[in-house]
Amino acid sequence: MNEFLEIEEKIVRMLRTVYDPEIPVNIYDLGLIYKIDVEENGVLNIDMTLTAPSCPAVDFIVEDVKMKAGSVEGITNVVVNIVYEPAWDKEMMSEEAKLELGFL
């Protein structure tokens, strides 16, 4: 496996430890992560959305993402971009998330 894929796999593993405090499923399996882009200088750009535009936990979630993704070896900085296009819906969740939340 090349170095980029290894780093991306570690980032995904860390994102799976970040939870919206109101939902018992991690943000990755919820389908909230739209893009993971690691630049050669170690800057990590993450495009993510929220389950609702007025999510009261946005600051908590963003800080958790920055802290945990930033702990991956080789990452020098984390930039989180909150985006609303495409709009999130429950079809973006993994099968595990749907099962956990009773959608299956």
Kind of pairing between the strands at 77-82 and 43-48: parallel
pLDDT of residue 4: 77
What is the amino acid identity at position 4?
F
In a domain, residue 45? The reply is yes
Rounded to two decimals, the pTM is 0.92
In a domain, residue 18? The reply is yes
The residue-averaged pLDDT of 57-74 equals: 96
Q: Which residues neighbour 68 within 8 Å (Cβ) at sequence distance 6 or greater?
A: 14, 15, 17, 18
Q: 29 with 99: CB under 8 angstroms?
A: no
In a domain, residue 103? The reply is no
What would you measure as the largest C-alpha separation in the chain, in angstroms? 42
Q: 90 with 53: CB under 8 angstroms?
A: no
In a domain, residue 101? The reply is no
Per the structure, the count of domains in the chain is 1
pLDDT band at 1 (very low <50, low <70, confident <90, very high): low
